[in-house]
Amino acid sequence: MGEYEKPLPIPNEDTKPFWDSLKEHRLRIEKCCQCGQFRFPPRIICPYCMSLESEWVEVKGEGRVYSFTVVHHAYTPAYEGALPYVVAIVELEEGIRLVTNIVGCKPEQVEIGMRVELTFEDVTPEFTLHRFRPVTL
């Protein structure tokens, strides 16, 4: 196994709790303490009620494919070995949408509305990334 060559997140003050939770193989989402809305991406102020008070709440990571595309062209050499792969927007049961990859099935098996669940990929000692796979019934 060589060095991980794909881009990695650059956490900032707002997003660090999200990446830290993934490293612990948990998914935590920012939630407004005043109106109770989940929000993503993390930000300092609630877009619904303008409150500055928020907490990080662990969620199960279950949802559905909201939209997706199958990537067939490597835009950088680091992705050549991964082709073809699926970039998707997954809508969690909590209502927020995350950009992610669908793994654990062939790209042609991915469908809008498909039930998916969170899985984790430890890509470096510092970073774990969120992926989603089909829910097997």
Residues that bind Zn ion in the complex, under the rule CB under 5 A: 32, 34-35, 46, 48-49, 51
Closest CB 64 distance from Zn ion, rounded Å: 24
Residue 35 or 112: the one with the smaller Cβ distance to Zn ion is: 35
Closest CB 54 distance from Zn ion, rounded Å: 8
| E strand spans, 16-61 | 27-32, 38-39, 54-59
Q: What DSSP element (H or E) covers 23?
A: helix 16-23
Residue 27 or 46: the one with the smaller Cβ distance to Zn ion is: 46
Q: Cα separations (Å) of 36 from 50, 64, 97, 98?
A: 12, 22, 17, 19
> Do 40 and 89 meet the contact criterion of CB atoms below 8 Å apart?
no
- Tokens 């809508």 correspond to 91
Closest CB 43 distance from Zn ion, rounded Å: 11
Residue 43 or 115: the one with the smaller Cβ distance to Zn ion is: 43
Residue 48 or 109: the one with the smaller Cβ distance to Zn ion is: 48
